[in-house]
């Protein structure tokens, strides 16, 4: 086994010597570095350099930027080399499922497998192979990186030491932050309302079966804003891309066949299968949503208005009211809104939903709002009460008010220190060869470059 690896390294070094230093009139691609048995191509550097420029990167000369990109790639290949040495592996099943998820996403964005092939100028098998390689390398590197930082922790002493190490004039500013809770009332959908919507779709289905075009009626009647203008067409999707009830009905159809009326969390649908290609189908659908009646909405408003009065009169606390009356799942968390950006319960002003922002700008901490309209996660009308549980003013970060944030900074620094220490130790021991074009780079680490 060791002999095979040595021969592989020798073969790659030969390629590097042949391609890197050969004087050719036109070089399409070349190997610019070798780390262990892993190579870095000029095309990899140029691709990342182009992305950097397209994203507005303007700092530094072209050569210095390429040197930075190369050092980042050296680190990545060093991790892959370590994964080989440590016999870290990921299963093909893990990779294949990720590949299919990416393929389904790309197909949904571009509209068809043919368009995906045209976009990348490769057939679908080649695209899958490329994705498989990239995702395998990504997972292997993540496993190595996890092992490097696995023992990192930030004790209260570490956090204090880190904070004290920041020069006073360099302590970051923390913008105003809010902690907000809600109490939600979701008006019920009555059976009569459900039956009325189903009857609408049965009538539309009957018209299609008598010869009217599905796509025409979808444009007129469908309440799915994303597909109605396209005649209800959803594009090629695979299993797992739809909610279970929709998927089961769609994959059971034959081409041209129309489903019965089915119910999902979004409302009621009828579906027509346009085309099937292996594990992918292209369907069109007509969606009719379930609407809350004005009477039910008014009842929800009145109930919340009464609850708000009880809270203001100190007959019940907001937290108690949430537990007793809220229809939202977040009642177990006291109704606290969760920031999707970082998973915390704190929001910067600019991160708030516009409607929420308008309401809380009129509130003091601890003051409950009047009932305000909202849309639930499935698009239905509802009402809620809002309250500011906590509010900070813009200030320099400090241990009393921003401990969790400073702890996060401390962890980030300690993880980076652990990674830097690992690179410093490994880069001087691993086999590294860099082509002459890049040997004058001012690298951060000593890569023990072989001449």
pLDDT in tens, 152-168: 989 999 999 999 999 99
Give residue 272's pLDDT band: very low, low, confident or very high (50, 70, 90). Answer: very high
Q: 176-189+293-393: which CATH topology? A: Chitinase A; domain 3 (3.10.50)
Query: Look-up: residue for tokens 């007793």?
Result: 324
Contact between 19 and 435 under an 8 Å Cβ cutoff? The reply is no
d(CA 357, CA 349): 7
Query: How high is the pLDDT of residue 374?
Result: 93
Cα 403 to Cα 160, 170, 398: the distances in Å are 9, 17, 7
d(CA 358, CA 372): 11
Residue 385's region, left for phi above 0, alpha for psi from -120 to 50, else beta, is beta
- Among candidate residues 49, 69, 46, 70, the one with its CA nearest the CA of residue 58: 49
Query: Look-up: residue for tokens 């579906």?
Result: 271
Beta strands in 239-279 (DSSP E): 262-264, 267-277
pLDDT in tens, 168-203: 999 999 888 899 999 999 998 888 889 999 999 999
Each as own residue / partner, the long-range contacts of residues 305-312 (CB below 8 Å, 24 or more positions apart, any chain) are: 305/370, 305/371, 307/183, 307/385, 308/368, 308/369, 308/370, 308/371, 308/385, 311/368, 311/385, 312/368
- Among candidate residues 424, 184, 426, the one with its CA nearest the CA of residue 304: 184
pLDDT in tens, 81-91: 899 888 888 88
pLDDT in tens, 359-395: 998 999 999 999 999 988 777 899 999 999 999 888 9
Give residue 96's pLDDT band: very low, low, confident or very high (50, 70, 90). Answer: confident
Q: Which helix (H) or strand (E) holds 181?
A: strand 177-185
Query: Look-up: residue for tokens 């092992």?
Result: 147
Q: Treating both helix axes as pointing N-terminal to C-terminal, what angle do 403-427 and 62-85 enclose, rounded to 10 degrees?
A: 80
Look at the pTM and tell me if it is higher than 0.85.
Answer: no
d(CA 84, CA 81): 5
What are the domain boundaries of the chain? 2-149+416-438, 156-172+398-407, 176-189+293-393, 191-288
Q: Treating both helix axes as pointing N-terminal to C-terminal, what angle do 113-120 and 124-149 enclose, rounded to 10 degrees?
A: 70
Q: Which helix (H) or strand (E) holds 388?
A: strand 381-391
Task: Decide the pairing of beta strands 280-288 and 267-277.
Answer: antiparallel
Query: How high is the pLDDT of residue 128?
Result: 87
- Tell me whether domains 176-189+293-393 and 191-288 share a fold: yes
Q: In terms of CATH architecture, what is 2-149+416-438?
A: Orthogonal Bundle (1.10)
**CATH class name, domain 191-288:** alpha beta
């Amino acid at each position: 086994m060791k002999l095979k690896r040595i021969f592989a390294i020798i073969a790659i070094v030969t390629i590097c010597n042949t391609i890197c230093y050969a004087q050719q009139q036109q070089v399409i691609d070349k190997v610019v570095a070798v780390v262990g048995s892993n190579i870095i191509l000029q095309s990899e550097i140029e691709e990342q350099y182009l992305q950097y420029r397209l994203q507005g990167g303007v700092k530094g000369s072209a050569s210095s930027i390429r040197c930075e990109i190369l050092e980042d790639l050296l680190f990545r290949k060093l991790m892959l080399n370590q994964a080989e040495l440590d016999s870290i592996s990921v299963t093909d099943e893990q990779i294949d499922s990720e590949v299919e998820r990416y393929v389904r996403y790309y197909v949904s964005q571009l509209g068809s497998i043919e368009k995906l092939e045209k976009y990348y100028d490769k057939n679908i098998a080649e695209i899958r192979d490329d994705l498989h390689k990239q995702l395998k390398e990504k997972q292997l590197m993540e496993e190595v990186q996890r092992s490097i930082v696995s023992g990192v922790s930030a004790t209260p002493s570490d956090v204090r030491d880190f904070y004290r190490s920041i020069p006073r004039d360099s302590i970051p500013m923390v913008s105003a932050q809010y902690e907000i809770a809600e109490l939600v009332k979701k008006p019920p959908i009555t059976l009569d309302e459900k039956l009325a919507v189903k009857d609408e779709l049965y009538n539309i289905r009957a018209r299609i079966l008598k010869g009217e075009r599905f796509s025409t009626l979808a444009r007129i009647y469908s309440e799915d804003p994303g597909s109605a203008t396209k005649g209800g067409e959803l594009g090629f999707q695979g299993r797992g891309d739809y909610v279970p009830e929709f998927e089961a009905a769609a994959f059971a159809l034959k081409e041209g066949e129309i489903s019965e009326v089915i119910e999902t969390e979004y409302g009621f649908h009828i579906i027509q299968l346009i085309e099937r290609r292996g594990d992918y189908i292209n369907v069109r659908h007509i969606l009719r949503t379930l609407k809350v009646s004005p009477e039910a909405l008014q009842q929800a408003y009145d109930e919340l208005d009464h609850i708000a009065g009880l809270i203001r009169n100190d007959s019940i606390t907001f937290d108690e009211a949430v537990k007793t009356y809220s229809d939202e799942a977040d009642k177990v968390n006291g109704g606290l809104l969760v920031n999707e950006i970082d998973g915390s319960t704190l929001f910067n002003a600019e991160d708030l939903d516009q409607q929420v922002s308008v309401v809380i700008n009129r509130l003091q901490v601890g003051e409950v709002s009047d009932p305000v309209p909202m849309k639930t996660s499935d698009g239905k009308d509802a009402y809620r009460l809002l309250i500011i549980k906590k509010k900070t003013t813009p200030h320099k970060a400090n241990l009393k008010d921003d401990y969790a944030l400073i702890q996060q900074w401390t962890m980030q620094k300690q993880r980076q220190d652990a990674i830097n220490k690992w690179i410093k130790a490994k880069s001087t021991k691993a086999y590294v060869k860099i082509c002459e074009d890049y040997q004058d780079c001012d690298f951060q680490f000593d890569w023990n470059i072989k001449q």
